[in-house]
Structure 1
Amino acid sequence: MKFIRLKGNLEQRNLDNRLSYEPDIIEFYLSERDLGDQELIRDRIRQLHDRGVKPYLHHPPTYRGTYLDILSENPDARRFYHESCETLARICEEERAKCVVHAHYVHTASCGNVTRERTALLREEIRKIMAYSRDAFVWEDSTEGLFSYGCNPYLIEDLIEPLALPLTVDVSHTFIGYRGDNERLRDILERTAPYAQYYHLVDSMGLVHDSLQLGLGKIDWRMVKPLVLGKDFIFEITLSGDHSDCTPMVESARYFADIEAEERVAAK
């Protein structure tokens, strides 16, 4: 099947499940604890290279149970953010991988007081992280706050463009940020195309972070497909249980492939 591009964790059982589908890309979702075993991270990346699978990492979202924010006033959280990015930059450069990173998550300080001045402050903090590696990181948008397309009118012109910032565009995050507006989603996909290297393809009803299988939400995937083809992406769907079974991601790949097949038939 085409477009088998999946997400998982470092557990061998989890990885074996993904590899059984012969994927093109796997993204490893890391925890704070995972950074305590850097050799395991390297081993999993090497397993992917041995199978011809392109590896991505995802920076840990939390520190001591609290979501990360690059502008956090907690000095320990700021220290962890920088040290973990420096570590992952080194791993990515040495092991030929890339790492998805969030400037902030929801319910953090960066989700309030969205101004041009704070956007500039965020830009300079991101610049510091980019000093660890220009090529390792791809920056993912949030559903709200300073790094949300729907909430911050200054994000592209005052932050992304000046830094020529490599992006991960999460289609569902953008859709939710615009309260389910497919035309606004199209506009962002077109405007960020020069900087987007990677996409998270996830469906949504456009109201909350629901992470649905493709076809179960309101995103117009026939519109999205030609705007993301030719670049890297995964199907990042919420899984049940211990997350070892990635069937909803595989079914999303099938849905995406079927759209392409339908369009080829219609073009004849």
Structure 2
Amino acid sequence: MRKGIRLKGGIDDKSFENRLKYDPEIVELYLTEQDMERTPLIRERIRAMNRRGIGAYMHHPSRYRGAYLDIGSEDPRMRTFYRESTAELLKICEEEGARCVIHAHYVGMGCASADREATIALREEIRSIPGFDSGLLLWEDSTEGLFCYSNPYLIDDLIVPLNLPLNVDVSHTFIGFRGDNDKLCEVLERTAPYARYYHLVDSMGERHDSLPLGEGRIDWVRVKPYVEAKDFIFEINLTGDHTDCSPMVDSAAFFATIGS
């Protein structure tokens, strides 16, 4: 097993075999709406990782019928899919030894009204999800909206009262604060008691650019002490059919040099 190689990929044969050839410590399986119709394959992938001692994570589907998922959606079909898919993935986590990253929303939710009342309403939506605080579901921040760390109420009025297990996406937080490394590090400090997992991605801080480490403006020298003792992956944007994950491997090499 190669220390520090922590990757993300799909459950299809090409992607999965590509990740395994690097002998990684961790693989996060990015799932789609269609993947929820073939959960035996998801289980098979996790078991294959477990046999090799690879830490197994999943990422809850991001879209339903082409639209980004939103826990507070007014579309009853989306609400049903959100809750049923979460319950199914939680069951897989419990039975197969994995964890699952989940978003409360992506973009567009509460952007114009990130106030305390709306944040508390989101908190109660999350509380309604069975297993929300089990430590098997890890709640990830968005680049804007209520579940973005630029929302001043998110930590004190949602995360702390729920003792919510987190996946902190370093680039999302950086973008939420428009490229402010000081504010990024303040969030990493404040969320440290709740963060179980991290997505490490570079960014210029202006949009969701998902750059390899070292190609953006995140100060990784300051970030590394907060994340190095916990689980994380390098979640770099890939080209083509997303089979070749070498940009993630290159980012792992960059990260290893920091502080050495």
CA deviation map 1:80-133 (0-9, x unaligned)? 1000101101011000100000000113x3333211111111101101114466
Where does residue 112 of structure 1 map in the other structure? 112
Provide the C-alpha distance between the structure 1 equivalents of 2:178 and 2:119, rounded to a whole number of angstroms. Answer: 22
1:4-83 superposed matches below 5 A: 4-83=5-84
Say whether residues 1:138 and 2:145 are aligned partners. no
1:1-268 superposed matches below 5 A: 1-107=2-108, 109-131=109-131, 134-150=134-150, 152-261=151-260
With the length of structure 2 as denominator, give the TM-score of the two structures: 0.97
Give 1:134 shift.
Answer: 1.5
Percent identity of equivalent pairs: 61
Corresponding residue SS for 1:199: strand
Specify every segment of 5 or more residues in structure 1 that has no aligned partner in the other structure, as ranges: 262-268
Corresponding residue SS for 1:110: coil
CA deviation map 1:139-189 (0-9, x unaligned)? 000000000001x10000000000000000000000000000000000000
Provide the C-alpha distance between the structure 1 equivalents of 2:152 and 2:86, rounded to a whole number of angstroms. Answer: 27
Provide the C-alpha distance between the structure 2 equivalents of 1:73 and 1:115, rounded to a whole number of angstroms. Answer: 20
**1:233 is aligned with what amino acid?**
F
**1:89 is aligned with what amino acid?**
L
Instruction: Name whichever structure is richer in helix by fraction.
Output: 1
Provide the C-alpha distance between the structure 1 equivalents of 2:204 and 2:133, rounded to a whole number of angstroms. Answer: 36
User: CA contact under 8 A between 1:203 and 1:216: conserved in structure 2?
Assistant: yes
Provide the C-alpha distance between the structure 2 equivalents of 1:58 and 1:125, rounded to a whole number of angstroms. Answer: 19
Kindly tell me the number of residue pairs found equivalent between the two proteins: 259
Give 1:214 shift.
Answer: 0.2
Q: Which runs of 4+ in 1 moved over 6 A?
A: none
Provide the C-alpha distance between the structure 2 equivalents of 1:19 and 1:258, rounded to a whole number of angstroms. Answer: 23
Where does residue 264 of structure 1 map in the other structure? none
Provide the C-alpha distance between the structure 2 equivalents of 1:104 and 1:111, rounded to a whole number of angstroms. Answer: 11
Specify every segment of 5 or more residues in structure 2 that has no aligned partner in the other structure, as ranges: none
Residue 154 to residue 130, structure 1, CA distance change in 2 (3 Å): farther
Provide the C-alpha distance between the structure 1 equivalents of 2:133 and 2:168, rounded to a whole number of angstroms. Answer: 20
